[in-house]
Amino acid sequence: MEEKIYTAKKYGVPMLFLVIIMFFCSLAGFIMGVVHFIDCDDNGLPVQPLYECLFVGGILLFALSCLLCGGFKMLNPNEAVVLNLFGKYKGTLKEAGFYYVNPFCVSFNPAADTKLRQSDDVGANKSISSSAGQQTGKKISLKMMTLSNNKQKINDCLGNPIEISIAVIWKVVDTAKAVFSVDNYKEFLSLQCDAALREIVRTYPYDVAPNIDTTGDGVADDGSLRGSSEIVAAKIKSEIQKRVSEAGLEIVEARITYLAYAPEIAAAMLQRQQASAVVDARKLIVDGAVGMVQMALESLSENKIVALDDERKAAMVSNLLVVLCGNHDAQPVVNSGSLY
């Protein structure tokens, strides 16, 4: 369904004055009729037809003024109202102002009372939600809003369970599609965010893993949820946008707000990361120690400080590596005898 901008002019203020005048005229005619009826009843005089007409006309004019009150629509900036006349879509009011439309046109928004974990609903209890619904009515907000769904437990491409949540910034761009193409566009967005998140997360490992292709080009890469958060967020945004386009919604941004291993494997994965860190640290220490030993032997040889045979070089290398790679301070042993 195509969105149509309702072309009604802003006749709200003139119609407001007209309805007020009609109301007072109806009240005056009703009072004059009632006073005449009482006076005729007290004096035994016949009722004049003019006052009968004033009485009946006052009642009818009051009913008409009440009916006309249903045509007033006031819009704030970044708000819209979808108008429906006897089941037919008439158009959407988008520009801020005070309007008067057909009083039989009704505002239609099936998601008006739906409260999600989004920017304008966070912390809203039942009483606050009901009062907010009375204030906004069936208006559709065109502002950018943030949807933060609950944490989900999803298996990554290696089968490891992880917990992840995202924050999605979105807005309504086509009110007709949002209202008529889906049953409830807020719930639809929430469900599609969950589905898109699962679809993307299942293609990535939590951390960098060998022989994993995350781009789909058949070549292993270093993509991961923890290390490629910007790329993952862009893919999640694209996937959600593809799913909600038919609902007239635009996804402005999607960001990962929480990422961790599931509790049942978190301790084991922490030990694995600690072991990997220890191995990497030891490798760096050994590489540095070997370089220092080589430099020491070359310096002794070039400066001809002492001539060592292979056996003594091996003993010196062993002692230096023990000193440089050990976790504790070395305890020196002083040899007061000869070299051999």
Question: Measuring CA to CA, how many Å separate 9 from each of 65, 73, 175, 228, 264?
Answer: 20, 11, 20, 51, 62
Q: Is the pLDDT of residue 125 over 50?
A: no
SS3 7: coil
Q: What would the mean pLDDT of 277-295 be, rounded to a whole number?
A: 81
Q: Distance between CA atoms of 199 and 193, rounded to whole angstroms?
A: 10
Q: What would the mean pLDDT of 229-252 be, rounded to a whole number?
A: 92
Q: What is the pLDDT of residue 123?
A: 42
Q: Is the pLDDT of residue 178 over 80?
A: yes
| 218 plus 274 within the same structural domain | no
| 32 plus 83 within the same structural domain | yes
Q: Is the pLDDT of residue 172 over 90?
A: yes
Q: Is the pLDDT of residue 315 over 80?
A: no
Q: Select from 261, 286, 311 the last residue of a domain.
A: 261
Question: What CATH number does the domain containing 209 carry?
Answer: 3.30.479.30
| 102 plus 143 within the same structural domain | no
| 296 plus 239 within the same structural domain | no
Q: Distance between CA atoms of 319 and 276, rounded to whole angstroms?
A: 27
Decide if 330 is inside a domain: no
Q: What is the pLDDT of residue 102?
A: 87
Q: What is the pLDDT of residue 3?
A: 83
Q: For residue 132, what pLDDT band results from cuts at 50, 70 and 90?
A: very low
Q: What is the pLDDT of residue 71?
A: 85
Q: What is the pLDDT of residue 108?
A: 84
Decide if 187 is inside a domain: yes
Higher pLDDT, 256 or 274: 256
> Which 8-state DSSP code applies to residue 262?
-
| 179 plus 98 within the same structural domain | no
Average pLDDT, the chain: 80
| 149 plus 200 within the same structural domain | yes
Decide if 148 is inside a domain: yes
| 210 plus 173 within the same structural domain | yes
Decide if 97 is inside a domain: yes
Q: For residue 248, what pLDDT band results from cuts at 50, 70 and 90?
A: very high
Q: What is the pLDDT of residue 127?
A: 35
Q: What would the mean pLDDT of 74-97 be, rounded to a whole number?
A: 88
Share of the chain above pLDDT 70, in %: 85
Q: Distance between CA atoms of 15 and 8, rounded to whole angstroms?
A: 13
Q: Distance between CA atoms of 108 and 92, rounded to whole angstroms?
A: 10
Decide if 4 is inside a domain: no
| 152 plus 174 within the same structural domain | yes
Instruction: Give 128-131 contacts, CB < 8 A, sequence gap 24+.
Output: none
| 146 plus 215 within the same structural domain | yes
Instruction: Give 228-231 contacts, CB < 8 A, sequence gap 24+.
Output: 228/204, 229/256, 229/259
| 143 plus 228 within the same structural domain | yes
Decide if 123 is inside a domain: no
Q: What would the mean pLDDT of 264-269 be, rounded to a whole number?
A: 71
Decide if 117 is inside a domain: no
Q: Is the pLDDT of residue 243 over 50?
A: yes
| 150 plus 238 within the same structural domain | yes
Q: What would the mean pLDDT of 106-130 be, rounded to a whole number?
A: 61
Q: In the chain, how many domains are there?
A: 3
Decide if 60 is inside a domain: yes
Q: Select from 241, 261, 281 the last residue of a domain.
A: 261
| 255 plus 275 within the same structural domain | no
Quick: pLDDT tens for 201-224. 988 888 888 778 787 777 878 888
SS3 5: strand
Lowest mean pLDDT among 93-107, 130-144, 320-334: 130-144
Q: What is the pLDDT of residue 105?
A: 86
Chain Cα centroid distance, residue 40? 71
Q: Select from 261, 286, 309 the last residue of a domain.
A: 261
Quick: pLDDT tens for 45-74. 666 777 778 788 888 988 998 888 888 888
Lowest mean pLDDT among 190-199, 200-209, 278-287: 278-287
Domain containing 194 equals 138-261
